[in-house]
Chain A
Amino acid sequence: MSIGAVAAMRLLLRRELTLSFRRPEQLLQPLVFFLIVTTLFPLGLSPQLSLLREMAPGVLWVAALLASLLSMDGLFKSDADDGTLEQLALSGQSLGIIVIAKTIAHWLVSGVALVVVSPVVATTLAIPIEAFPIMMLSLAMGTLTLSWLGAIGAGLTVGLRRGSVLLSLIILPLAMPLLIFGANATDRAIGGESAAGPLYFLAALCVFTTTLAPFAASTALRITLE
């Protein structure tokens, strides 16, 4: 009678993506934020290419981090507010599947979108084209990790009325390693050095959160549902 986990996941992913595309302004908000922050830096600092290139990895990563955080707050909130989260929790599917589907959908519409526009931003920050693949790869892994961390934070704070501030406080310290290794990988790629070291660290963080965050987030969610 009941449908399998894979079919449920597919249905949930479709639900999340449909909902995101019905709200284009929410979809574009982090992207626009990312673009604005990164284009303001050259204006505020100096248009000197060497200086820009030196600052670029840090600017890029801080902007990506904050942009991703911006959309994190709503991950479970809107479903909790209108009662659909209860319906999902009572669907007979495990909360883990719901968390995984929602987080992957979040990453697809926020993280992947950031990765796609990052070459444009990188050009304004004078990052050479040769560094683009490493930069995009590190951003992809970094934003996925961030989405997982955010899922835990969002699960913990969904029941609170002013949860978004607390959410940032929970996630940002955990995101520091991402910032360090991500910016370092991009920096090394710009300098033409091997970025394997920081990339391995990013990949390890990515695998670590992908495997553990669903458990943590679904437990957090179960507690808030009570």
Chain B
Amino acid sequence: MSAAPYCLEVDRVHVWRGDRHVLKGTSFRLEGGELLHVWGPNGTGKTTLLRVACGLLRPEQGAVSWMGRAIHSFAADYQAALAYASHETALKSDLTALENLRFTVGLKRAVEGAELRETLAKVGVGACADLPARVLSAGQRRRVAIARVLALRAPLWLLDEPYTNLDTDGAAFMSAMLDAHVDQGGCAVVVAHHDLALGCRVRRLELSA
């Protein structure tokens, strides 16, 4: 992973939601081996920024580029290179944890059930693989969502409050996972309202109202 010059650039992005000017010329540049910690009070557009960065939301002004190219000019390839975890865990409650992973990860790359089981076990929910997501606790659901991020094997991670509902062990695992990803040359944008205890290179972006 380390050879490619990963680079995510958000350049003076403006977003309005109705009358509200949510993002007012937000810019950042993130290279492989760096993590961006986005923080700030509620309602300052942290999630909006993440949605802009993954291409779900087109900004009214400004540009987002990945490795030097505007993301909307090669949306499918760009999306194949990113793993997005929203603050919802995005699991279908009627599907098992394993099926949930298979049907989302499987759309990006051919993947075997055994590998997904292994990933679930690594995140600490191996025993829940065949349980419907409906019966999992909030923390377990979060862990399954984290397993999906891992299984996508994407160079760019965009995570919205990934520490929500995690216990101490889970939070430590999450941090170790982020460290490992960034140390291997990956990029990560993490929205969190608290300090991150990470060993990797962290840059901070504060959004204010």
Which A residues lie at the B interface, using CB under 8 A?
Answer: 1-3, 7-8, 11-12, 14-15, 18-19, 22-23, 79, 82-84, 86-94, 225-226
A91 in contact with B108 given A1-B80, A86-B56, A226-B58 (CB within 8 Å): yes
A22 and B56: CB pair below 8 A?
no
A22 near B94 with CB under 8 A, answer yes
Assess A84 versus B104: contact at CB under 8 Å? Given A1-B109, A90-B56, A226-B56: yes
CB of B108 within 8 A of CB of A22, answer: no
Interface pair A82/B86, CB less than 8 Å apart: no
Q: Do B88 and A83 have beta carbons less than 8 Å apart?
A: yes
Task: List the B side residues contacting A91 at CB < 8 Å.
Answer: 79, 104, 107-108
Query: How many whole Å from B208's CB to the nearest CB in chain A?
Result: 24
- The complex places the Cα of A226 from the Cα of B108 at a distance, in Å, of 22
Residues of B whose CB lies within 8 Å of any CB of A are: 54-58, 76-77, 79-80, 82, 84, 86, 88-95, 99, 102-104, 106-110, 132, 148
**When chains A and B are docked, how far (Å) is the Cα of A170 from the Cα of B57?**
26
Q: Is the CB–CB distance between B99 and A92 below 8 Å?
A: no
28 pairs of residues in contact across A and B, judged by CB atoms under 8 Å? A3-B109, A3-B110, A7-B110, A11-B106, A12-B103, A12-B107, A14-B103, A15-B95, A15-B103, A19-B94, A22-B94, A22-B95, A22-B132, A82-B93, A83-B86, A83-B89, A84-B90, A86-B86, A86-B90, A90-B56, A90-B79, A91-B79, A91-B104, A92-B77, A92-B79, A225-B56, A226-B56, A226-B57
Residues in chain B near residue A82, CB distance under 8 A: 88, 90-93
B107–A88 touching, CB < 8 Å? yes
> In angstroms, how far is the closest chain B Cβ from the Cβ of A156?
18
Query: Which A residues lie within 8 Å of B56 (CB)?
Result: 86, 89-90, 225-226
Q: Which residues of chain A are near B79, meaning CB under 8 Å?
A: 90-92
Top-3 shortest CB links A-B? A83-B88, A92-B80, A83-B90
Q: How far is the CA of A89 from the CA of B108 in the complex (A)?
A: 11
Pairwise interchain contact A23-B92, C-beta atoms closer than 8 A? no
A47 to chain B, nearest CB (A): 43
Which one of B76, B94, B109 contacts A23 once the chains associate, using CB atoms below 8 Å? B94
Q: Which residues of B contact A92 (CB under 8 A)?
A: 76-77, 79-80, 107-108
Selected contact of A87 from candidates B58, B77, B99, B104, CB within 8 Å: B104
A19 touches B107 (CB 8 A): no
Report how far A28 CA is from B110 CA in the complex, Å.
34
Report yes or no: A3 in contact with B90, Cβ–Cβ below 8 A: no
State A15–B103 Cα separation when bound (angstroms). 7
Task: Collect the chain B residues with CB atoms within 8 Å of residue A89's CB.
Answer: 56
A19 touches B92 (CB 8 A): yes
Q: B57, B58, B94, B109: which contacts A2 (Cβ < 8 A)?
A: B109
